[in-house]
Amino acid sequence: MTKQQFETFLEAKARETKTPDPVDWIARKQEWLKSLEMFYRQVELWLKDYLATGKIEMKRGDETLQEQHLGTYHAESLVLTIGMDRVVLQPIGTLLIGARGRVDMQGTKGTVKFILTGEHSDGIHVSISEAGPKGGAPAPLRKPRPKPSEEWVWKIATPPPMVRFIELTPESFFGALMEVVNG
């Protein structure tokens, strides 16, 4: 690399830092934490009969997350005890491709991922080409973006490579819970 190329590189980097960031990161983090709390309240509502009878025990945990632009912050986890099994709903973060947030439900027999995504989103679709038009650079990958008017909702994400989003209902949640406990 020549000195001139390096100076051009440095000038480009200096312009990057002077461009205002269009994202309100404080608001983004607050929206994520609010959505996380709403998710946990929904889970608690679905489990209320089992919590009342002692068949399931639930407690909150404190997790430290680190994300670019958001820094280090605290988020709650949810810990369920079912018999001898322990299931943790672990917040992963909000800066994700194709989603506004993710919580992993981890049990002894596996993990199920809950995704905060657009209400009409049905999965992550990726197409890869070997070369772009006329043998040029590869075309950029495209990811579906929710429409601005679309509501953010929690869904269950199936494992890769063909990631589909399943509507989150009491039945799908109970099925996911049994999957991570029973396998």
pLDDT in tens, 75-118: 999 999 999 999 999 999 999 887 899 999 999 999 999 999 99
Angle (CA) 38-75-22 rounded to 5° is 85
Q: Is the pLDDT of residue 134 over 70?
A: no
CA 74-80-83 angle, 5° bins: 155
Give the residue among 69, 92, 72, 71 at the shortest CA–CA distance from 22: 69
Q: Are 151 and 119 a contacting pair, CB within 8 Å?
A: yes
Kindly state the DSSP code that residue 122 receives in the 8-state scheme: -
Q: pLDDT (tens digit, 9 = 90+) per residue, 159-171? A: 988 889 999 999 9
Q: How many CB atoms lie within 10 A of CB 157?
A: 20
Distance CA 85, CA 166 (A): 25
Task: Give the tens place of pLDDT for each residue, 36-75.
Answer: 999 999 999 999 999 999 999 999 999 999 999 999 999 9
**Per-residue confidence (pLDDT) for residue 10, from 0 to 100:** 86
